Amino acid sequence: MLMPRLLIAVLVLMASGSSFAQEEKSGDSKSNTMEIAFLLFDNYETLDVFGPVEIFGRLRDLYTLKFYSLDGGPIENRHGVSVLTEKLETASASPYMLLIPGGMGTRKEIDNKMLIGQIKGIADASSYVLTVCTGSALLARSGLLDGRQATSNKRAFSWVESMGPNVVWDKKARWKVDDKYYTSSGVSAGMDMALGFLADRHGIEFARNVAFEIEYNWMEDKDNDSFIAE
């Protein structure tokens, strides 16, 4: 009777070890999520950031969201929304995505050579770069959009256009895609672009399901914005 009991004990231990290994493997998979680096600066536009945050943040098994600024610390916008950020120089050497919002703060940051330099370095190393609203002006200033198609906030289009004279600006698009660069029109268009990005990576039904979960009427046509620059 001793041998069968011993055999049973060994089998139980083996099963437990196998279960533990599966749990460890599952835990490791969570650490393999792709980093989305959100760049913040004073007076960023609220929805430019938190619209995409809501969309990508729901997919915790795929993406990890981090917030950065040039010097780190709390960054506040004109709505009084403050976010604690890490120093931009500490961002991953090659994040999956860099997302640059717009807002009135871009008018000041456009002349911040240190910030533009870091944007260029991180954007160049990222797998994808997304800009919302006038965030495209900051990316254009880096030179990375030269010769590429892009769009921006239609009410600030002339100003943005002047920041990137070598960019092929589209006055009609809701969002544009040129290689790894995604640029969107103003504010809420960032959500449409984020869903468009998910559709490109994971399929249209996947993106539609995310839109349904947040009860959002997704404007799926990237080429036609109801807000058109003159």
Q: Is residue 8 part of a domain?
A: no
pLDDT band of residue 5 (cuts 50, 70, 90) is low
- Model confidence over 96-138: pLDDT tens digits? 999 999 999 999 999 999 999 999 999 999 999 999 999 999 9
Rg (CA), the chain: 22
Query: What's the distance, CA 96 to chain centroid?
Result: 9
Q: Is residue 70 part of a domain?
A: yes
| Rounded Cα distance, 84 and 170, in Å | 34
> The CATH number of the domain where 122 resides is what?
3.40.50.880
Q: Is residue 220 part of a domain?
A: no
Residue 57 has pLDDT above 50, yes or no: yes
- Model confidence over 9-50: pLDDT tens digits? 434 334 444 333 333 333 344 568 999 999 999 999 999 999
Q: Is residue 9 part of a domain?
A: no
| Rounded Cα distance, 203 and 201, in Å | 6
The predicted pLDDT at position 82 comes to: 97
| Rounded Cα distance, 7 and 22, in Å | 23
Q: Is residue 13 part of a domain?
A: no
Phi, psi (deg, nearest 5) at residue 66: -135, 150
Q: Is residue 27 part of a domain?
A: no
Q: Is residue 2 part of a domain?
A: no
- Model confidence over 70-91: pLDDT tens digits? 999 999 999 999 999 999 999 9
- Is residue 62 within 8 A of residue 35, CB to CB? The reply is no
Residues with Cβ < 8 Å from 164, sequence gap 6 or more?
136, 137, 140, 141, 145, 146, 150
The range of the structural domain enclosing residue 126 comes to 33-213
Domain count, the chain: 1
Buried/exposed code over 114-132 (b: 16+ C-beta within 10 A; e: otherwise): ebbebbbebbeebebbbbb
Mapped onto helix, strand or coil, the DSSP state of residue 17 is helix
The predicted pLDDT at position 157 comes to: 97
Residue with tokens 């600066």: 41
The predicted pLDDT at position 228 comes to: 86
The predicted pLDDT at position 151 comes to: 98
- Model confidence over 132-179: pLDDT tens digits? 999 999 999 999 999 999 999 999 999 999 999 999 999 999 999 999
The predicted pLDDT at position 102 comes to: 98
Q: Is residue 175 part of a domain?
A: yes
- Whose CA is closest to 59, among 24, 40, 35? 35
Residue with tokens 């055999």: 7
